[in-house]
Amino acid sequence: MKYILDRTYARELLEWAYEQNPGPWLEHSCNVALATEKIVVELINNGYDLNADIAYNAALLHDNSCDFTFPLNSKFLL
Protein backbone atom coordinates (compact mmCIF):
# COMPACT_ATOMS: atom_id res chain seq x y z
CA MET A 1 0.00 0.00 0.00
CA LYS A 2 2.44 2.59 -1.27
CA TYR A 3 -0.08 5.42 -1.05
CA ILE A 4 -0.29 5.29 2.72
CA LEU A 5 3.42 6.03 3.24
CA ASP A 6 4.38 8.15 0.21
CA ARG A 7 2.99 11.69 0.19
CA THR A 8 3.90 12.28 -3.44
CA TYR A 9 2.07 9.16 -4.56
CA ALA A 10 -0.94 9.99 -2.38
CA ARG A 11 -1.07 13.44 -3.99
CA GLU A 12 -0.89 11.84 -7.46
CA LEU A 13 -3.85 9.61 -6.54
CA LEU A 14 -5.77 12.63 -5.28
CA GLU A 15 -5.11 14.56 -8.49
CA TRP A 16 -6.17 11.56 -10.60
CA ALA A 17 -9.39 11.27 -8.60
CA TYR A 18 -10.03 14.98 -9.08
CA GLU A 19 -9.63 14.60 -12.85
CA GLN A 20 -12.29 11.88 -12.74
CA ASN A 21 -14.66 13.82 -10.48
CA PRO A 22 -13.79 17.52 -10.11
CA GLY A 23 -15.37 19.45 -7.30
CA PRO A 24 -14.90 21.31 -4.03
CA TRP A 25 -13.89 18.13 -2.23
CA LEU A 26 -10.27 18.58 -3.38
CA GLU A 27 -9.69 21.73 -1.33
CA HIS A 28 -11.55 20.16 1.59
CA SER A 29 -9.33 17.05 1.49
CA CYS A 30 -6.15 19.16 1.39
CA ASN A 31 -7.34 21.23 4.35
CA VAL A 32 -8.23 18.12 6.35
CA ALA A 33 -4.78 16.67 5.63
CA LEU A 34 -3.03 19.85 6.81
CA ALA A 35 -5.12 20.02 9.98
CA THR A 36 -4.51 16.34 10.67
CA GLU A 37 -0.78 16.81 10.24
CA LYS A 38 -0.71 19.68 12.74
CA ILE A 39 -2.63 17.63 15.30
CA VAL A 40 -0.47 14.53 14.84
CA VAL A 41 2.79 16.49 15.04
CA GLU A 42 1.60 18.01 18.31
CA LEU A 43 0.73 14.54 19.62
CA ILE A 44 4.15 13.22 18.55
CA ASN A 45 5.78 16.14 20.37
CA ASN A 46 3.86 15.05 23.47
CA GLY A 47 5.14 11.49 23.38
CA TYR A 48 2.63 9.64 21.22
CA ASP A 49 4.04 7.07 18.81
CA LEU A 50 2.34 8.11 15.56
CA ASN A 51 3.33 8.39 11.92
CA ALA A 52 2.62 11.84 10.48
CA ASP A 53 2.87 10.60 6.87
CA ILE A 54 0.25 7.90 7.38
CA ALA A 55 -2.10 10.33 9.13
CA TYR A 56 -1.63 13.01 6.45
CA ASN A 57 -2.16 10.61 3.55
CA ALA A 58 -5.21 8.99 5.13
CA ALA A 59 -6.74 12.43 5.66
CA LEU A 60 -5.79 13.52 2.14
CA LEU A 61 -7.56 10.54 0.58
CA HIS A 62 -10.47 10.22 3.02
CA ASP A 63 -13.15 11.48 0.59
CA ASN A 64 -11.74 9.89 -2.54
CA SER A 65 -14.77 7.70 -3.19
CA CYS A 66 -17.54 9.98 -1.95
CA ASP A 67 -20.25 11.15 -4.29
CA PHE A 68 -20.51 14.93 -3.95
CA THR A 69 -23.13 15.44 -6.62
CA PHE A 70 -26.30 17.30 -5.68
CA PRO A 71 -28.30 16.23 -3.82
CA LEU A 72 -25.61 14.93 -1.51
CA ASN A 73 -25.47 11.20 -1.13
CA SER A 74 -27.33 10.70 2.16
CA LYS A 75 -25.10 7.88 3.41
CA PHE A 76 -22.35 10.45 4.07
CA LEU A 77 -24.56 12.86 5.99
CA LEU A 78 -24.67 12.73 9.76
0.85 exceeded by the pTM? no
**Domain limits for position 66:** 2-76
Q: Give pLDDT, residue 33.
A: 98
Terminus-to-terminus CA distance in the chain, angstroms?
Answer: 29
Give the model's confidence band at 78: pLDDT under 50 very low, under 70 low, under 90 confident, else very high.
very low
Instruction: Quote the crossing angle between the two packed helices 25-45 and 7-20, to the nearest 10°.
Output: 160
With a cut of 80, say whether residue 16 has pLDDT above it. Answer: yes
Per the structure, the count of domains in the chain is: 1
Q: Give pLDDT, residue 69.
A: 53
Q: What is the pLDDT of residues 27-56, one digit of tens each?
A: 999 999 999 999 999 999 999 999 999 999
Q: For residues 36 and 29, give the distance between their C-alpha atoms in angstroms, rounded to a whole number.
A: 10
Q: Give pLDDT, residue 64.
A: 73
